[in-house]
Amino acid sequence: MDRVRPLPGVEAGTRTGDRTTMITDPVPVRVPRRLLPVLVIVALQSWVTLTPGRDPFLQLAVAVLLLLQVQWMARVARQYEHDGPHRSIELAGLCLAAGLVADVVARAVGPDLPMSVGFIVGSSLCAVFAFQAVLRWDRLGSGTPGVGDWINALGTVAVTVSGGILLVQALAAPAAAWSGWELLVWLGQLATGAVLAGTCVVVGLLTGMRGDPRLWAVVGAFSVHVVVQCAIAAAGYEVAERASILGHVVVCTATTAALQQALPVRRDRTRPSVTATWSLVLLGCASLVLAVAAFSDLARTRVAAAIGAAATVVTFSRVSAIVRELESLARARREARTDDLTGLANRRGLVAALTSAPGTVRDRREAALLVLDLGGFKHVNDRYGPDTGDHVLRAVAGRVAGLLEGRHVLARVTGDEFAVLLPGADQHRALDVAAAVADAVTQPFDVPDAVVRLGVHVGVTHVHPDERPAPAGTELLRRGQAAMYAARAAGTQVAAYDPAEDERERLRHERVEQLRGLLAPEPDPACGEVVVHFQPQLDAGTGEVVGAEALVRWWHPQHGLLAPVAFVDLVERHGLMAPLTRRVLRLAAHEAAGWARAGFPYRVSVNLSSSSFADGDVVCLVQEALTATGLEPGLLTLEITESVLMENVESVPPVLQSLAERGVGLSIDDFGTGYSSLAYLADLPVDELKIDRSFVRRLMTDPRTHAVVAGTIELARRLQLRVVAEGVEDAETLEALRELGCDVSQGYLHARPAPAAELRDWFQDHVTADQPS
Q: Write out the catalytic residue numbers.
A: 726
User: Would you call 407 helix, strand, or coil by DSSP?
Assistant: coil
Do the beta carbons of residue 344 and residue 411 sit within 8 Å? yes
User: Distance between CA atoms of 135 and 92, rounded to whole angstroms?
Assistant: 14
User: Distance between CA atoms of 337 and 331, rounded to whole angstroms?
Assistant: 10
**Which of 136, 133, 131, 138 has its CA nearest to residue 269?**
138
Do the beta carbons of residue 223 and residue 197 sit within 8 Å? yes
Do the beta carbons of residue 122 and residue 102 sit within 8 Å? yes
**Which of 58, 63, 83 has its CA nearest to residue 5?**
83
User: Distance between CA atoms of 150 and 318, rounded to whole angstroms?
Assistant: 10
User: Distance between CA atoms of 85 and 541, rounded to whole angstroms?
Assistant: 98
Q: State the burial class of residue 179 (Cβ atoms within 10 Å of its Cβ: 0-12, 13-18, 19+).
A: exposed
Question: Cβ–Cβ contacts within 10 Å for residue 183, how many?
Answer: 23
**Which of 154, 152, 150, 166 has its CA nearest to residue 288?**
166
User: Distance between CA atoms of 391 and 388, rounded to whole angstroms?
Assistant: 5
**Which of 181, 193, 187 has its CA nearest to residue 163?**
187
What count of residues does the chain have? Answer: 773
User: 321: which residues sit within 8 A by CB, 6+ positions away?
Assistant: 148
Going from the C-alpha of 43 to that of each of 51, 54, 596, the distances in angstroms are 12, 15, 101
Going from the C-alpha of 197 to that of each of 88, 261, 398, 653, the distances in angstroms are 16, 20, 61, 89
